[in-house]
Amino acid sequence: MKDTVEIFSRRRVNVEKLLPYGFQQDDGGYLYQADLVKGQFKMTVVVSPEGAVTTAVVDASTGEDYVLHRVAATVGEFVGKVREEYEQVLIHIADTCFTSDVFKSQMAKQIIQFVRDKYHSELEFLWPRTPDNAIFRRVDNAKWYGAILTVSGKTLGLDDASRLEILNVRMRPDDVVALTDGKKYFPGYHMNKKHWVTLRLDGSVPIEEILMRIDDSFGLVGA
C-alpha cells in the first residue's frame, strides 16, 4: 500500500481547491471525511495550509482507531479492501487538490506554465522508476515535443556530477549539427541524437530562446 508520504511527495497543495472538493476548515487546517467499506469505517484526512497530510481511520461501530491497514504484515481480503479504498481516497485528493511540484528551477516552472497556457499540455510522468522525468506532447496527435528531466551533469559530459534539470526538444538535423556545442546545446539525452537536443535549465540559455525552441519543436512534430 502507498502511504501518505509516497502519494503526496513531489506535490504542492492548491488550497483553493480544498473547500470545493468537500474539505471543511478546522483548527487552521482543512478536514475531509469519507466512508470506507460501505460505512464500516470513517476515514478522516487533514491537510495543513502548508500541504502536510495526516489521516485516521475509525471503526464506525466502536469508535476505536483502526490501524491494521498500515501494518504490512497483516493480510486478508477484508484488510485488503480497507487498504484499497483508503488509498483511492488519498490518490483522488492528490490528483484533484494538489499540483505537481517535481521540478524546482525557475526555468522549468516557466516552461511548464508556457506549454500549459499556449498548447494546453500537461506534464506526463511515464516512468515510475524515474519520477523526476516527464514529457509533454501535442494534444492533437499525442506526439512528444519536449521532456524535462533531472540528471547528473556527468551524463552530459560535464565535470560537475551535481543533479540538474534539462530540457529535450526536437530540431531539424541541420540545426542540431550547427548548435550542438557541449556547452549550451547537447546531443539529445536518451533521444534520437539526429533530431533532438538537450538544454540545461540553469540560465546558460535564455528563457526566451528556450521558449522559441519549444515552439519550433511543437511545429516539427505536427505532421
Is residue 223 very low, low, confident or very high in pLDDT (cuts 50, 70, 90)? low
Question: pLDDT digit string (tens) for 104-157?
Answer: 899 999 999 999 999 999 899 888 888 889 999 999 999 999 999 999 999 898
Domains in the chain: ranges and CATH: 4-100 (no CATH), 106-221 (3.90.1150.30)
Q: How far apart are CA 5 and CA 119, in angstroms?
A: 32
**Measured between alpha carbons, how far is 204 from 184 in angstroms, rounded to an integer?**
6
Residue located via cell numbers 501518505: 4
**Separation between Cα atoms, residue 146 and residue 138, nearest integer Å:** 9
CA distances (Å), origin 203, targets 115, 200, 206: 19, 7, 6
pLDDT of residue 1: 67
Phi, psi (5° rounding) for residue 102? -80, -50
Q: Spell out a b/e string for 150-165, using b for 16 or more CB atoms within 10 Å of the CB, else e.
A: bbebeebeeeeeeebb
How far, in Å, CA of 209 to CA of 215, rounded? 10
Pick from 206, 214, 44: which is nearest to 197 by CA? 214
Report the C-alpha gap between 215 and 130 in whole angstroms.
Answer: 26
Q: In sequence order, which residues have a C-beta less than 8 Å from that of residue 11 and are 6 or more positions away?
A: 51, 94, 98, 99, 100, 101
Alpha-carbon distance 16 to 113, whole Å?
18
- 1-38: pLDDT as tens digits: 678 888 898 888 999 999 999 999 988 899 999 999 99
**Could you tell me which residues are beta bridge partners of residue 36?**
41
pTM attached to this predicted model: 0.67
Task: Classify burial at 103, counting beta carbons within 10 Å of its beta carbon; exposed 0-12, middle 13-18, buried 19 or more.
Answer: buried
Q: What is the pLDDT of residues 178-192, one digit of tens each?
A: 999 999 999 999 899
